Structure 1
Amino acid sequence: MEELIRVRTRALRRDMTDAERCLWYHLRAHRFMGLKFKRQKPLGRYIVDFVCLEIGLVIELDGGQHAEQVAYDLRRDGWLRGQGVTVLRFWNHEVLLQTDAVLEKLRLWVEQKQPSPPAPLPQAGEGS
């Protein structure tokens, strides 16, 4: 089973969709908010499109076939949530035609998940 997942993962990385390539350009190499994303990463018996383990975020890009496999996606998302991750889904055409809007949705989710650190307290004697 593990070998099968490893082979499938390599194939998915090699044969990324245009939407996956587009989003990966923005997520890779800590380009998006300094976060480390991995692509086509096995989690349990599933392979997720993108994951940032540091903040517990899985990003799934869906093509037309997902309209026909809603029950499977719900089961899969439920299992992933049980592992402590949030799944955000976007349609391929959203990523390709509205890339900035998708990135903004991701940024807002990350900021909500990781609020900015509080401003440092003034040093003794400052402001007198």
Structure 2
Amino acid sequence: MKRKVIPYKPYLKELARQLRQNSTLSEVLLWDELKNKQLLGLDFDRQKPLGNYIVDFYCKDLMLAIEIDGDSHDYSLEEDAARQRELEQLGVRFLRFDDAEVKRAIPNVLREIKSWVEKYGRCNTHP
């Protein structure tokens, strides 16, 4: 099955690079577990531009965005919800984790991601 490519605004590429250089501790911790196809052999990108937005982590094979909600998200719950709805209309699915949860219980976060992939994800990776 051919992957769906979601175009993005060109200016987001530089912003995503800046975000990668200024990652939060929880983003660094989760990235250490997702990079290099360590999780179920899945290829994740971090700070990935999609449409008009940037998501924390994205697996294009599953069209799965993983977001870490922390201090930077506290003020923008309505914006986050609108952004998520817009990306979901493009076929992107979301998993959200709390910043503190990633810092304190990353094994639980990884278990939840694996469980989601086993339940919802694999059906989209095969024709």
Tell me the TM-score normalised to structure 1 length.
Answer: 0.84
Q: Please, which of 11, 19, 28 is the counterpart of residue 4 of structure 1?
A: 11
Q: Aligned partners of 2:41 and 2:106: how far apart in 1?
A: 18
For 1:88, the equivalent position in structure 2 comes to: 95
Q: 1:114 to 1:57 in 2, by over 3 A?
A: closer
Alignment check: 8 A CA contact 1:80 1:87 kept: no
Q: Does 1:15 align with 2:22?
A: yes
4+ runs deviating over 3 angstroms? none
Q: Point out the more displaced range, 37-46 or 60-69.
A: 60-69
What do residues 78-111 of structure 1 show as CA deviations (whole Å, max 9, x unaligned)?
0111111111111111001010000011010000
Q: Secondary structure of 1:21's match?
A: helix
Q: How many residue pairs get matched?
A: 116
What CA distance in whole angstroms lies between the structure 1 residues aligned with 2:74 and 2:18?
A: 23
**One-letter code of the match for 1:74?**
A
Cross-structure match for 1:55? 62
Question: Which residue identity lines up with residue 33 of structure 1 in the other structure?
Answer: L
Counterpart contact for 2:26–2:68, Cα < 8 Å = yes
RCO higher in structure (CA 8 A, sep ≥6): 2
The answer on whether the counterparts of 1:58 and 1:85 sit within 8 Å (CA) in structure 2 is yes
Compute the displacement of 1:2 (Å). 4.0
| Aligned equivalent of 1:121 | none
Q: One-letter code of the match for 1:23?
A: L
**Percent identity, aligned pairs only?**
38
Where does residue 119 of structure 1 map in the other structure? none
Runs (5+) with no aligned partner, structure 2: 1-7
- 1:36/1:80 CA distance change after superposition, 3 Å: same
1:112 equivalenced with 2:119 (yes/no): yes
Structure 1: gaps (5+ residues): 117-128
Q: CA RMSD in A?
A: 1.7
CA deviation vs aligned residue, 1:99-127 (integer Å, no higher than 9, x gap): 000001101000001459xxxxxxxxxxx
Larger radius of gyration: 1
Q: TM-score, normalised by structure 2?
A: 0.85
Give the conservation status (yes or no) of the 8 Å contact 2:26–2:99.
yes
